[in-house]
Amino acid sequence: MRTAFTDLVGCQVPIQLAPMGAICTPELVGAVAGAGAMGMTSMPGAPARTAAGVLDALGTQVRGPFGFNVLIPFLAGAAGCRMGTRFVVTPESGAHPAYKEAIVRADGDGTVLTDAFRTDWPDTVAEARVSRSSFERNASFPDGATVATVRIGPATLDVPRFGFVPPAAAAEGDIDAMAMYAGESAGLIDAIVPAADMVAHTVRQADDLLRRAAAT
């Protein structure tokens, strides 16, 4: 499925994995890139040694470019689309199992747009969509409370109430109170599906939808 986006970045299908810190494991990035899409990762706050290790892992596992309904942008003429929530709920994702299950269980009203999750975030305004359950769980804690801990390289960091860090697999504590970022598409997700299968399924849907739109 060739577009201006695929020509620009050198991938085969116009889908980009949203960079989501520890959620984007080398396995997830590799699966996305191997399916023809563009894999991405980010390492906010990671020490240089940890970042180097992740880049080494990416170099050995990734074959390809890395660096609400995904079909709607293509109908509107977009050359590519960035997906995050759907890739959180994959076997390759580094998200905590409770995070994946929260998205699978979410219904159409299961997310909320809020600027509450900005404790320790450098921006003065950081509005994001999260699962409604994680927002409500955070609200039940007193100001200044620590809800969980995460590991970034050799360091263990406290996650405060309404902290911005999402729950990766190694997080400990009250996982349900961590920032479970999720788009409005969460209500459409009902299963954990391999990343490569999701890329292929999305491309088939997009191709079919574009053909039908062209015929009308």
Strand partners, 148: 159, 173
Going along 99-201, which residue ranges are E strands? 111-114, 128-131, 146-152, 155-160, 172-173
Number of helices (H) and strands (E) in the chain: give both, helices first: 8, 7
pTM: 0.80
> Which amino acid, 205?
Q
Domain residue extents for the chain: 4-92+194-215, 108-184
**pLDDT per residue of the chain (216 residues) written in tens, 0 to 9:** 888 888 888 889 999 998 888 898 889 998 999 999 988 888 766 776 777 787 788 777 777 766 745 665 666 677 888 889 999 999 999 999 999 999 999 988 899 999 999 887 776 667 899 999 999 999 999 999 999 999 888 889 999 999 999 999 999 999 999 999 999 889 889 999 999 999 998 888 888 877 877 786
Asked if 133 and 180 touch (Cβ cutoff 8 Å), the reply is: yes
